[in-house]
Structure 1
Amino acid sequence: MTAGRSHETRRYALYGWLLLTPAVALMSLFAFIPAGATAWASLFSRGTNRRPAHFAGLDNYTQLFADPTFAKVVTNNLLYAGVTIPVSTAIALGMALWANARIPARGFVRAAYFTPTMLPMIAAANLWLFFYTPGIGVIDKIAGLFGFGPTNWLGQPDTALWAIIVVTIWKESGFFMIFYLAALQTIPPDLHEAARIEGAGRWTYTRRVLLPLLMPTTLFILVNALINSVKLIDHLFILTKGGPDNASKLILYWIWEMAFSYFDAPHAAAMTVLVLIVLGIVAAIQFRVIDRRAHYR
């Protein structure tokens, strides 16, 4: 009897490993091995034809922290993430609540909200480049009706990053709305009826019933928004190229610039490792702390 159970246990273990093998192979090929190679490359100096690369230890990291551009880029990305994540999530929730209500032309409203998501980021950036053009752009034309003069939104350090933030929020809110809309349609209507019978108003129902039930979706959206705040740089190539004076430069754009404009692969690898460490810490916090609070047990 014991031998039979042992054989069955080994068989189930084999099935489990066979099911995991494709995922492990893909993750190793496209994630683990490249991450390890990047970490190893970050420990070497920049090589040239006359002076080959040599092992430098943590010198690349030390030089990064001493670079004033590092502090500027990190500050920009923190501000970028700190604004785009909560604002796009809140707007997405508001749009989903509106698009899920019984309103005329509900299908048109949903399509209108989702349209920016279907545009490639390059196309969206070119569209907003026309909006931001000083003097002849749509924004300056509207501002001129109220007596305001032309503004170089993308050419001033005080407004360049905020202009990038607006484009990101406009682009991402419709995408996140889809997840909220799908989650709203899984909530039984009986809960709303029960809350109404108990005398709960719309705000009380939203705060005490709807938002707690949407917490798993909100957590999923927050994690995706955090990843996007690090990886989305397409619009920078069209709108500002990180300028003026690094005012709108973000981390991934700086990594690309170091690797392919300055051909400084070791420092780019070191910065990539730092980003992976930070994202790993955030993921650990998400799985250990936030995920347990977001689901009912």
Structure 2
Amino acid sequence: MQAAAARAGNAGAGQRAIHAWLLLLPALTLLVAFTHWPAVATLIDSFYSTPRGSRPGVWVGLENYEVMWDDPVFWHAVRNNLWFAGATIPLSIGLALVMALWVNERLAGRTLVRMAYFTPTVLPMIAVANIWLFFYTPQYGLLEQITGSLGLPSHNWLGDPSTALAAVTLVAVWKEAGFFMIFYLAALQTLNPSLKEAAAIEGASRWYFFRRVQWPLLMPTTLFVLVNAVINAFRLVDHIFILTRGGPDNATTLLLYHLYEVGFKFWDTGYAAAITVVLVAVLASVALVQFFVLDKRVHYR
């Protein structure tokens, strides 16, 4: 009797396992087909030359990586991307936090303010780039009209290598801050209101309450936002394509845009695959450091 019951239990467990795998099969198929296999195929392609017409690609080993190492445009894009990430990540996160703290307070018309902050996020990236292209247009753009009314000289913001990358950075911060604000706002609304009441009774200032209470409790959200901000800083291509196309003189060429040009403009798929492997490896390493190093400093409730 006990043996029969054990066999029946094992059979039931096996059927439940089969049902579970069948339910997971559609998601696993899509994940493998559109994520894991393309990543493996890109890694393999990075060791082959680019096929030309009827001539297939041949094994070249690390030649594509050597070309990348000797490519000055690649290193220029790396420097630009590091500058871009170093500016957009703290600015977008800091601005998002400030906006979330403000619209979380009881102020008149806060629903409209929240909508105004979040509107850039829902706009298509191409539309955003075209809006800011009008702002930056020399002589008759909105920014030129403002500076002209103040008696300042005309300036080609996107055509000057010294200001082009900063102008693109401003667009990215304007686009991302509202998106990150939503996460901070949701986290602030989950905090216990009694914490603020107790701090007010103790005579704590707003800055002290934020630094000692709110900021530590917001660290899980900050870690999540930080991971997304880092990824976004290395995957920008739409704005570059519309605003500057990497110019002037590669002043705004970022890694992903350089990858786009190599793969689709110059049609060097082998070299593009090598750049992709390096970019994915760098982002994966940064994400692992964030989760396994910074996560230890995060306090979850």
Instruction: Tell me the TM-score normalised to structure 2 length.
Output: 0.92
Look up the match of 1:24: 28
Q: CA 1:108/1:50 → structure 2, altered by over 3 Å: closer, same or farther? A: closer
Look up the match of 2:83: 79
Letter in 2 for 1:271: I
Q: CA shift at 1:117, angstroms?
A: 1.2
Q: CA shift at 1:24, angstroms?
A: 2.7
In structure 1, how many angstroms separate the alpha carbons of the residues matched to 2:188 and 2:29?
36
Q: CA shift at 1:45, angstroms?
A: 1.1
Q: Secondary structure at the match of 2:194?
A: helix
Q: Secondary structure at the match of 1:98?
A: helix
Aligned with residue 174 of structure 2, among 158, 170, 176: 170
Gaps of 5+ in 1: none
- The root-mean-square deviation of aligned C-alpha atoms, in Å, is 2.0
**Mean Cα deviation higher: 275-284 or 92-101:** 275-284
Q: Secondary structure at the match of 1:54?
A: coil
**Mean Cα deviation higher: 143-152 or 287-296:** 287-296
Q: CA shift at 1:170, angstroms?
A: 0.6
Q: Find out whether 1:129 has 2:133 as its counterpart.
A: yes
Q: Find out whether 1:184 has 2:188 as its counterpart.
A: yes
| Deviation readout 1:222-269 (Å, 9 max, x if unpaired) | 111111112221111111000011100111111111111101000001
Q: CA shift at 1:286, angstroms?
A: 2.4
Aligned with residue 200 of structure 1, among 198, 201, 204: 204
In structure 2, how many angstroms separate the alpha carbons of the residues matched to 1:118 and 1:50?
44
Q: CA shift at 1:4, angstroms?
A: 7.6
Q: Secondary structure at the match of 1:170?
A: helix
In structure 2, how many angstroms separate the alpha carbons of the residues matched to 1:295 and 1:208?
13
Aligned with residue 110 of structure 2, among 96, 106, 109: 106
**Mean Cα deviation higher: 77-86 or 23-32:** 23-32
Look up the match of 1:155: 159
Q: CA shift at 1:22, angstroms?
A: 3.9
Q: CA 1:197/1:28 → structure 2, altered by over 3 Å: closer, same or farther? A: same
Q: Find out whether 1:256 has 2:260 as its counterpart.
A: yes
Instruction: Tell me the TM-score normalised to structure 1 length.
Output: 0.93
Letter in 2 for 1:225: A
Q: Secondary structure at the match of 1:46?
A: coil
Q: Find out whether 1:272 has 2:276 as its counterpart.
A: yes
Letter in 2 for 1:259: G
In structure 2, how many angstroms separate the alpha carbons of the residues matched to 1:4 and 1:199?
68
Aligned with residue 213 of structure 2, among 209, 215, 228: 209
1:30-109 counterparts in 2 under 5 A?
30-49=34-53, 51-109=55-113
In structure 2, how many angstroms separate the alpha carbons of the residues matched to 1:96 and 1:44?
49
In structure 1, how many angstroms separate the alpha carbons of the residues matched to 2:24 and 2:217?
31
In structure 1, how many angstroms separate the alpha carbons of the residues matched to 2:267 and 2:9?
57
**Mean Cα deviation higher: 193-202 or 88-97:** 193-202
**Equivalent pairs, count:** 297
Gaps of 5+ in 2: none
In structure 1, how many angstroms separate the alpha carbons of the residues matched to 2:196 and 2:19?
44
Q: CA 1:219/1:56 → structure 2, altered by over 3 Å: closer, same or farther? A: same
| Deviation readout 1:80-125 (Å, 9 max, x if unpaired) | 1111011000000000111111111111111111111121111111
Letter in 1 for 2:219: M
Q: Secondary structure at the match of 1:231?
A: coil
Q: Secondary structure at the match of 2:129?
A: helix
Q: CA shift at 1:292, angstroms?
A: 2.7
